Amino acid sequence: MAAIPGFAVYQLTDPTVAELAERFARPPALYSSQVTWGWSGVITREVIARDLDKLQAMNLQQAWVEPGRNPEAPYLSAAYFENVKIAVEEAKKRGMHLWFDDDGGYPSGFAGGKISTERPELAMKALAEPEQVAVAPGETFARTLDDKTICAVATNLDTGATQLLEPKAGQVSWTAPATGRWAVALAKWKFRSGVTRSSNNKSGAKDGEHALMDYLSPEANRAFAEWTFEAYAKAVGAEFGKTFLGLRLPRFSGHRHPC
């Protein structure tokens, strides 16, 4: 497998029974069981060290961090990434390994609320109920389309035949045939997001305060990557694939992004 810059490459192994038996009693840290490590409340170096020591005392060498509500270090803030650095430092001292959720809550895709507060134009979109305009036989339908109109479609209400109306310079002009009943449907989009459980939500509720991003928008994906993946790389990138094993989708522990 070719290496991807910034990502470690892992290979499948086929150990012998003897090799497995030797490591079964005390498996290497990379094969350790994991536990969810919730970061709710105030997080300090002392708290981080205490928690890691407790985990290691239970023979757990890995944890995945679930960012929670922290008034002193909100998710994705500079203070949050200071805690990330400390956690990686303390885990490295102990030979432990960490995973991190790729968003502060669930589902993934709102960047801790930054989509709503900093780039609302990149929020999730949905189809709105189309506007239907009846057009009499021989009548000309003319309309200047706004930026939320996806397309205009003329439909023969008697036969069901349709015709896509191509706009020119942002305008549609179409004359209905002399026979039949016709209507033009204007399909539009509107901002509409599913609810999120954001760790930066003011009330702690699961609601629509922080919208999900438009997953089909390259620009939205670039913004999300900058706020999350690239920010982690700046903070602890030297430990990617070492102490810092990767990012995972919140609430879906089987889906991970190896670093």
Q: Are residues 58 and 134 in the same domain?
A: no
Give the pair of three-digit tokens for residue 258. 């190896």
Q: Are residues 39 and 79 in the same domain?
A: yes
Domain stop point among 191, 220, 238: 191
Domain stop point among 142, 171, 191: 191
Neighbours of 109 (CB within 10 A): 23
Q: Are residues 34 and 66 in the same domain?
A: yes
Q: Are residues 71 and 129 in the same domain?
A: no
214 lies in some domain: no
Give the pair of three-digit tokens for residue 115. 């989509």
216 lies in some domain: no
Which amino acid does the sequence have at 114? K
Q: Are residues 187 and 233 in the same domain?
A: no
109 lies in some domain: no
119 lies in some domain: no
Neighbours of 227 (CB within 10 A): 18
CA angle 83, 100, 69 (to 5 degrees): 60
> What are the φ/ψ torsions at residue 4 (nearest 5 degrees)?
-105, 125
Q: Are residues 90 and 38 in the same domain?
A: yes
Q: Are residues 82 and 151 in the same domain?
A: no
Q: Are residues 24 and 56 in the same domain?
A: yes
Q: Which residues contact 34 (CB under 8 A, 6 or more apart)?
A: 60, 62, 63, 64, 99, 253
Torsion (CA) 136, 139, 140, 144 in degrees, nearest 10: -40
The CATH number of whichever domain residue 243 belongs to comes to: 3.40.50
Token pair 């970061």 is at which residue?
39
239 lies in some domain: yes
How many distinct structural domains can be found in the chain? 2
Q: Which residues contact 197 (CB under 8 A, 6 or more apart)?
A: 105, 106, 206
12 lies in some domain: no
CA distances from 243 to 63, 90, 122, 258 (A): 11, 10, 33, 12
Each residue's pLDDT, cut to its tens digit, for the chain (259 residues) gives 344 444 455 567 787 888 778 777 777 888 788 899 999 999 999 999 999 999 999 989 999 999 999 989 999 999 999 999 999 999 999 999 999 999 999 999 999 999 999 999 999 999 999 999 999 999 999 999 999 999 999 999 999 999 999 999 999 999 999 999 999 999 999 999 999 999 999 888 999 999 999 999 999 999 999 999 999 999 999 999 999 999 987 754 444 443 3
Burial of 53 (0-12, 13-18, 19+ CB in 10 A): exposed
Domain stop point among 140, 167, 191: 191
94 lies in some domain: yes
Q: Are residues 89 and 29 in the same domain?
A: yes
Do residues 212 and 191 lie in contact, with contact meaning Cβ atoms separated by under 8 Å? no
Q: What pLDDT is attached to residue 60?
A: 92
37 lies in some domain: yes
Which amino acid does the sequence have at 83? N
Q: Are residues 137 and 169 in the same domain?
A: yes
Domain of residue 156 covers 125-191
Q: What pLDDT is attached to residue 30?
A: 80
